Structure 1
Amino acid sequence: MLKGIIVLLVFQFIGECIAKLFELLVPGPVIGMVLLLVYLLIKKGSFPSLDNAVALHLRYLPLLFIPAAMGIITQIDIISKEFWAISIALFFGTLIALVFAAKFMDFLTSKADEK
């Protein structure tokens, strides 16, 4: 599992370096996650240590939502003023994400059927 955590941290570090070096607006961890995805696609799979590290992080993922929920509670006056704009953005953002995920899964399953 230590090897998996090190791989995650290395890709996050590389992403941070790229974001700082090129002064990108995209956060470094997002860049690192995309680079990890590309690496895993090239490698055509994962390894058990990385799988264990990811499973450990996913187990405690709900704890990360507590600060976000507190931020929403403290900003309720702004949210109430911009309710419709937020609602429309959430609706269309969710719709776009669902359509993209469905098309991507369709693409991946068609690739798997070809093999």
Structure 2
Amino acid sequence: MLKGIITLLVFQFFGECITKLFDLLVPGPVIGMVLLLIFLIIRKSSFESLDTAVFLHLRYLPLLFIPAAMGIITQVDIIAKEFWAILIALIVGTLIALVFAAKFMDYLTIKTTKEKNINEL
């Protein structure tokens, strides 16, 4: 498990370095997560200690929503002022995500069907 935690910290560190070096607005841990994803895609598998470390962190993921909920509670007046803008942004964003996901699933389904038909010949 120690190897897994060190792996997570190393990728977070690389993400932070890239953020500071290029003065990006994206948080370092997000860049580190993308780098970890690329690493795992290239490696084509994970390893047991990384899986254990990730599972340990995922168990406590709901605790991260507490600060966000408190932020919403403390900013009720701003949210009330901008209610319609927030609501429209949520609806439009959800619709865009749904359309994109549906089109992507269509693409994957067609691609899989074509590959299956080619393999049957």
TM bracket, shorter-chain basis: 0.7 to 0.9
Does the C-alpha gap of structure 1 residues 101 and 40 become closer, same or farther in structure 2, counting only changes over 3 Å?
farther
Ranges in structure 2 where 5+ consecutive residues have no aligned partner: 117-121
* Structure 2 match to 1:13: 13
When the two chains are superposed, the root-mean-square deviation of aligned CA atoms in Å is 2.4
| Aligned equivalents of 1:100, 1:2: Cα separation in 2 | 39
Instruction: Give the TM-score normalised by the residue count of structure 1.
Output: 0.84
* Structure 1 match to 2:27: 27
* Structure 2 match to 1:62: 62
Letter in 1 for 2:57: H
Instruction: Give the TM-score normalised by the residue count of structure 2.
Output: 0.80
| Aligned equivalents of 2:3, 2:94: Cα separation in 1 | 34
Relative to structure 2, which stretch is displaced further, 12-21 or 82-91?
82-91
1:1-115 correspondence runs (5 A)? 1-100=1-100, 103=104, 107=108, 110=112
| Aligned equivalents of 1:55, 1:99: Cα separation in 2 | 31
Does the C-alpha gap of structure 1 residues 44 and 101 become closer, same or farther in structure 2, counting only changes over 3 Å?
farther
1:4-58 deviation line (CA, Å, top 9, x unaligned): 1111110000000000000011111111010000000000011111111111111
Q: Computing the radius of gyration over CA atoms, which structure comes out larger, 1 or 2?
A: 2
Instruction: Report the secondary structure of 1:24's partner residue.
Output: coil
Ranges in structure 1 where 5+ consecutive residues have no aligned partner: none
Residue 84 of structure 1: CA displacement?
Answer: 1.3
Among the aligned pairs, what percent are the same residue? 77
Does the C-alpha gap of structure 1 residues 41 and 27 become closer, same or farther in structure 2, counting only changes over 3 Å?
same
